[in-house]
Structures are given as structure tokens and as C-alpha cells.
Amino acid sequence: MAENPAAEVTTANPVAEAIAALKAQFPDAVTEDDRKGYTGIVVDPESLVEVATAVRDTLGYNYLSSATAVDYLGKGDYFEMVYHTYRVPAGGPPLVIKARTPRDKATLPSVISVWPGADFQEREAYDLMGIRFEGHPNLKRILLWEGFDGHPLRKDWKEAYYEQDQKPFDSRWPQGHVHRAEERNPYGKNVRYPEGFTLDDFTPVGEAPNYEGIDLGVNVQEMTTPGLKTDRLVVNLGPHHPSTHGVFRMVVTLNGETVEDLQPVMGYLHRNHEKIGERNTFLQNMPFTDRLDYITSMSNNLGYALAVERLLSLGPRYQPPTYRAEVIRVLMVELTRVVSHMWAIGFLLNDLGAFYTPALYAIAERELILDFFEAVAGSRMMCNYMRFGGVFKDLPERIQGIPLLANDRVRNEATLDYLANIINERLPRAIDELDNYLTNNEIIVTRCQGVGILPPEMAIAYSAAGPLLRASGVPYDVRRAEPYSIYPELDFDVAVRYNGDIYDRYLLRIDEMRQSVRILKQLLPRLRETEGQPIISGSKAYSPRVPEGEAYGRVENPKGELGYYVVSDGGQNPWRYHVRAPSYINLTALGPMTKGHKVADIVAILGSIDIILGEVDR
């Protein structure tokens, strides 16, 4: 963060220029967002598509990172759709576009024709906020089910266990009373029905919407043509299927064994992250970010900390994180990247049929890093480690282990020696090992090369991020495109591969792990130099005063670009808290990528995207 103000001075111009150009081109439709703490332009809904096309084609903001809605109930009473657009692969700060619609008749034109990556994000805004998008070809609920009562992210929608708008709840604090929410609900469960609802005149909507528009049954025309006669049939993969990496479901239309169409069905792990996040205080959200992409809790923490720090920096008493804090943050994040890519490769091999053996090798290295996380943060997976302005605890002097299992060695090593051993010895060896065993393996080559190709222009259009984007030949990495933390002073290359198939995504992950190890090696001397320096700036306030405004903080997560859009109204809680989840948006390209391949390839293509359902469904 220390470098950021300087970076903004040099790069603030392109956005200002773009805004000026747009105001000149559309004097009636475009106004600058002049609310305190806000940036970007407000566009008249009528000309939204026209302006968006100009933004993409004339100004070069070809990448829609995030599209989300905010409910300004009581603050103007409108819904605002917020689009964050970037130049890819050039880099730089975002051009933020906003469009408003009244709350009672919420309708906006769909920008899917300009940025196809808006597909799922607009469906999410429809599902959770109730905004209709005209021109969207498939506008139905995505995370909840058809027939659900209301749109939960509206500020006036209250859940069954509703207690108060904001935490800490009066009933719990400061007196400290405890009650179980079930006891106050007439059904003893987390349910709430509309007034007068009974089962007498109720028919469930059921599964029909998932199969809408799919032509079921035998295609007579194809049956009468000469050659191999095949049936068209619909196959459901998931939500309980070993290859879906969790509770993901795909409705696949097959012709024989060839995929004609694939519709993802999600929401089986929709845990209402954003609604709970709006009730929480800013700090209370930190442990929840751990559970987004539960393999990479450390880097989720960093993204959220960056977003809130960006908001805090609007205030008068802001101090950027200390240097040691930044070093520790990058250390944690890069170790996480290795963990995540190891896991991704291990489980890609699982999907290719090498059941569990390669994964075991990958998990063995992960355990070493998890031991370090446990020693530092107190938990293996859910680290809850970063704080606004730094980290929560310094590295311990020694890593000590108790023998929990009969074959565990008692560990008592100096932390830096332990880290040096992992970084200099274990990880490079493990990466080489994976490379040696897998890269030229005949089965992997045959099944991965040329399968699931995503061309670069399509990857950008579908807002693909991370390894998916870079394996398609687009050298775009947030760590370089819009640098944060101490990445500018670190020496590493943005890995890129050009074929855009499963094989290149696999190779790219190997490349990235090598780059991460390169970064980690540069961090070790920095850790020694900064020993004893403060790990957090300012005071460790339980509830920091967050000034009014909006902020979008994004980091290069192992799965792709993870963004947090946070709006503050000056209170203790975020007014809006949205997560731009890379796994979720990367799935937009899954359908087009699988078309024309065999059914067995779906599993491999999905494995190569590397999704985590906690992040997909949030």
C-alpha cells in the first residue's frame, strides 16, 4: 500500500481522460459521480448499452471485472448497478460505470451484448436484488430456486432469524445474553413463510426451469439421416458427484456422447455471505472471507483488507500497513498460491482418472505449509490472519508440534529455518517431481492437449481470470497490472501460455508455483531484516471508523482476480459488501468450452478451471 498513492498519481490520468471523453461524447447521458468518496460515471439507463460499447471499443476498457447492485434504501431510494471495467492486458485502474433504476420498477438494459461476462453477474443481481435486465437471454434465478419468496439482498428483506439490522445485537452485547434462534421461531427451524401460506394450494415449481428450452428426446431428423444414429439426452452431473469438486451441478445435453449444451446450476452452497456481511461490522467479516475459497483463506483475507484499507485511506488518520506486515502478507499469500495450485493439479489428475495417487503427493506438501499456518495463525485452514493495517500476530520464534499421531515427529525448529527449508528445498523439489511425473505422461498429453480451448478474445469477453486467462495467452496479472502490497519491488514474471487448453492451464500452474517460490526466496532476507518491527499500523481498534464512500479492492488469488466491493455509509457496518468471486465468473466460459467435446472431457475441463464452491455460491 505504501507505493499505491504514488502509483495512483501517475495512472489516474487515463481514467480522468476517459471520463472527459465520455462526457464530451454523451453530454446528456453521462455525469460524473460526485458523491463523497465515490468515483466513476453515472450513466442514463437508456443509453447504457451505447455508452458501454463506446467504453469497450473506443476507450479500450474491454474487461468487465465486476457487476453488482447496491440498494440505496433511504439514501435516494434507488438501485444502483456498478460495473468495474479494466483494460486487459494493458493494466491500470478501473473505469467505474453506474446506472440507477427506481426500487419499485427495477429494470435496466443488459450489457451482456457488450461484455458476455456479465451473464451470471446480472442473473445474480436479478436473483438477490430483483433487478430485471432487458435483453438478457436467460434471466432466471441462479443461486436460489424459482419460487423463492422475495429478493434477499434488498435492504427491506428480512430473514427468518432476523434480529437487528446491525451487529453487535443489543440482546447479546454489552450484557451478554444468549438465546438460540430456533427457540423463537414457531417452526423451530430457519424458515419463514408468506402470510396465509399453507400447503393446500401449493405446487412446487420443481426442476422444470432447469430444463427450459432444452429439446428433450429423440431427434427424428437425425435418426433418419445415414450414419451412426444417436439419441439426444439430458444428463445431470451433480450436485452430488465426485468430479464436481463440491456441490455443483451441470445439466448437460448430449447427442450420443458429444456435448451439445451445458447449463451450470449452482447455489447448493449459497451461504448468504453478502447478507451476513452487511449485518456484520467491518472486522467481523474477516473470518467469513476465510470460508469463501477455503483453500486460500490467507489471500482472501488480503483482498478484503485491501478494500477496507482503501476506504480507510479516505479518512484523516489513516496509516498504511507497516513494511513487515506487507512482507508477512506476501509470504502468506504466495505460500497459499502454492498450496492451491498443488491441490488443483492433484485433483485435475483425479478427474483424469489417476485416482488419488497424484493428489496424495500434492497434499503431503500442503500439510507442511498448513503446519506453518497453524503455528502462526492458530488454525490450519481458516486463518483469519490479516487485519486492517497489518496482520494479527507476528511469526512465532519457533514452530513446535506435539505428536498428535503415532508417526508424527515432534517438531521444534526455528520458524525461519523451517520456512527456509520448505522454500529452498521441499517446494522446488516437489514442483519438479510433479513436472517430471506428469508433464510428459502419455495419458495426460492425450486427454489434455487441444481439449477445452478458450481463445484469448473469448477469455477476455467472458471475464475469465487467473490461470484460465493467462493460459489463453493474455498476460494479465493483478500483481503487475494494478500492483498492491510490495509486489512492485519483487522480481517475478507473469506466467503465460498460449494454447488455452487444459494442458496449458496445467503447465501454467506449474510455472506459477515456480514464480511463487522465486518470490518466497526474496522474502526470506526481508523477514530477517524486519524482525522485531511492528506488524500493524495505528491502533488495533475493535471497530475502525470507516469513512463514507466506496472501494473496490482486488488481488490476484490463485483462482483468479478476487475483488471486494465495499460501500460504507460512515457507520460500523458495510452498507454493501460484494465479492467478485473468480471461480463463479470463470464458470461463465464453461458452457462454450465444453461444446463439441465428449462427456468425459467435461470433468477434465471443469477440473482445469479449478473451482471452489464456497466461492462460486458464496
Partner 1 sequence: MTNGDSGLKALHNPDIPVPEELQSTIAITSLDRIYNWCRARSMWPLLFGLACCAIEMIAAAASRYDISRFGMEVMRPSPRQADLMIVSGTVTKKMVVPIVRIYNQMAEPKYVLAMGACASGGGPFKEGYNVVSGIDKYIPVDVYVPGCPPTPQALIHGFLTLQKKIESQSLRTVPWYRSGESTAIPIPLLGPDIIDPRQAELIRRQAEQAAAQAAAAPSEA
Binding site for partner 1 (CB under 8 A): 143-145, 147-149, 152, 159-161, 163, 181-182, 186-200, 202, 204-206, 239-242, 246-247, 267-273, 275-276, 279, 287-288, 291, 294-295, 359-360, 363-364, 366-367, 380-382, 404-405, 613-614, 617
> Considering the complex, what minimum distance in angstroms separates the CB of residue 258 from partner 1?
24
User: How many Cα atoms occupy the beta-carbon half-sphere of 45 within 13 Å?
Assistant: 17
Cα dihedral sign, 266-152-140-584:
negative
> Considering the complex, what minimum distance in angstroms separates the CB of residue 373 from partner 1?
12
Q: Whose Cβ is closer to partner 1: residue 38's or residue 304's?
A: 304
Q: Whose Cβ is closer to partner 1: residue 34's or residue 200's?
A: 200
Q: Whose Cβ is closer to partner 1: residue 228's or residue 410's?
A: 410
Question: What SS3 class is residue 208?
Answer: helix
Q: Single out the residue of 31, 24, 99, 21 nearest to residue 60, CA to CA.
A: 21
Q: Whose Cβ is closer to partner 1: residue 205's or residue 541's?
A: 205
Q: Whose Cβ is closer to partner 1: residue 232's or residue 279's?
A: 279
Backbone angles phi, psi at 380, to 5 degrees: -70, -50
> Considering the complex, what minimum distance in angstroms separates the CB of residue 346 from partner 1?
10
Q: Whose Cβ is closer to partner 1: residue 270's or residue 387's?
A: 270
> Considering the complex, what minimum distance in angstroms separates the CB of residue 198 from partner 1?
5
Q: Whose Cβ is closer to partner 1: residue 364's or residue 414's?
A: 364
Q: What is the DSSP letter of 400?
A: E
> Considering the complex, what minimum distance in angstroms separates the CB of residue 363 from partner 1?
4
> Considering the complex, what minimum distance in angstroms separates the CB of residue 199 from partner 1?
5
Angle, nearest 10°, between helix axes 427-438 and 502-529? Answer: 170
565 neighbors 278 (Cβ within 8 angstroms): no
Segment holding 540, helix H or strand E:
none
**Chain-centre distance for alpha carbon 156:** 27
The three three-digit cell numbers of residue 443, written as one number: 495419458
> Considering the complex, what minimum distance in angstroms separates the CB of residue 479 from partner 1?
25
59 neighbors 41 (Cβ within 8 angstroms): no
Q: Name residue 264's beta-bridge partners.
A: 250
> Considering the complex, what minimum distance in angstroms separates the CB of residue 123 from partner 1?
15
Q: Whose Cβ is closer to partner 1: residue 36's or residue 177's?
A: 177
> Considering the complex, what minimum distance in angstroms separates the CB of residue 173 from partner 1?
15
142 neighbors 127 (Cβ within 8 angstroms): yes
> Considering the complex, what minimum distance in angstroms separates the CB of residue 339 from partner 1?
11
Q: Whose Cβ is closer to partner 1: residue 165's or residue 529's?
A: 165
Segment holding 83, helix H or strand E:
strand 78-86
Q: Whose Cβ is closer to partner 1: residue 28's or residue 195's?
A: 195
Q: Name residue 82's beta-bridge partners.
A: 68, 98
Q: Which residues of 293-332 are buried (b: 16+ CB within 10 A; e: fewer)?
A: bebbbbbbbbbbbbbbbbbbbbeeebebbbbbbbbbbbbb
Q: Single out the residue of 96, 92, 122, 89 nearest to residue 107, CA to CA.
A: 122
Angle, alpha carbons 30-101-36 (nearest 5°): 60
**Chain-centre distance for alpha carbon 501:** 22
Segment holding 81, helix H or strand E:
strand 78-86
